[in-house]
């Protein structure tokens, strides 16, 4: 769990630096632990499309050092999904498929205890020292909302300006689907959301598939990008290793299969 005396994520966002994050969907706490031993500014654990069960989520959050902030991309904007993520000790959430300012505000309210919001108190890690957790939570818990549809883009200014929303993150894959995979339209939508965030004084992030694309988007003014995701990293590494092996296999059997 994050250090309640020195939470990092919201501070890093407010400082305006670029954050390169690792994204995990395979549901392996061991893989998360190995990956962050090599770097990363923050991690996202994907509960919407990933393979994390509740115990996997708890284990993955537990293996992270306090220096690596943890966000959970929750299944939906329900209070139950918010509670699962934050009760595990995550420092923040990514709420998918947000399309209106009212939806963004309601999701943010579910992330905070009364009187700031409507979150229920609980969770094994928070309850270990709930006094310290409660004192830190209002300022520490970080709310990111995802714009992933044409309707969301149209309402980007009110979404970005919604109370207690700390940043906006663009789900570029779903947005491309919503736009009909029109590359020019996607670029226009990305700029529109980024500009709406600038107007609201909020950071804007975007899902990227690799480090090269992440660097490019960071140069365009996106504060949070994905430098690696576990699915692509595993597939790419295994494919590269096998290709290297086949090139080096000069036996008759190997040559016939190359």
By annotation, the residues acting in catalysis are 49
**Distance between first and last Cα of the chain:** 48
φ, ψ dihedrals at 45, nearest 5°: -100, 120
Give, in order, the Cα–Cα distances in Å from 31 to each of 12, 65, 69, 90, 206. 25, 14, 16, 17, 23
Exposure string of 235-252, with b = 16+ CB inside 10 Å and e = fewer, is: eeeeeeeeeeeeeeeeee
Report, in angstroms and rounded to the nearest whole number, the Rg of the chain calculated over CA atoms. Answer: 19
φ, ψ dihedrals at 93, nearest 5°: -130, 155
Residue bearing tokens 């140069």: 219
β-pair type (70-73, 142-147): unpaired
């Amino acid at each position: 769990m994050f250090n309640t005396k020195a939470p990092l994520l919201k501070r890093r966002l407010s400082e305006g630096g670029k954050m390169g994050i690792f994204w995990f969907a395979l549901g392996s706490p061991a893989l998360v632990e190995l990956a962050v031993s090599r770097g990363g500014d923050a991690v996202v654990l994907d509960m919407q499309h990933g393979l994390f069960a509740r115990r996997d989520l708890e284990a993955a959050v537990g293996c992270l050092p306090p220096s690596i902030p943890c966000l959970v991309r929750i299944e939906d904007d329900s209070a139950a999904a918010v509670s699962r993520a934050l009760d595990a000790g995550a420092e923040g959430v990514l709420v998918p498929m947000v399309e209106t300012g009212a939806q963004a505000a309601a999701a943010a309210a579910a992330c905070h205890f009364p009187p700031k919001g409507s979150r229920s108190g609980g969770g094994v890690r928070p309850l270990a020292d709930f006094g310290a957790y409660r004192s830190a939570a209002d300022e520490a818990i970080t709310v990111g909302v995802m714009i992933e549809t044409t309707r969301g883009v149209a309402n980007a200014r009110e979404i970005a300006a919604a109370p207690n929303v700390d940043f906006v993150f663009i789900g570029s894959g779903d947005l491309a689907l919503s736009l009909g995979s029109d590359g020019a339209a996607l670029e226009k939508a990305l700029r529109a959301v980024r500009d709406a965030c600038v107007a609201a004084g909020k950071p804007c992030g975007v899902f990227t598939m690799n480090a090269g694309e992440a660097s490019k988007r960071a140069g365009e003014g996106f504060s949070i990008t994905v430098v690696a995701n576990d699915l692509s990293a595993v597939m790419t590494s295994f494919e590269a290793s096998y290709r290297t092996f086949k090139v080096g296999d000069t036996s008759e059997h190997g040559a016939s299969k190359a």
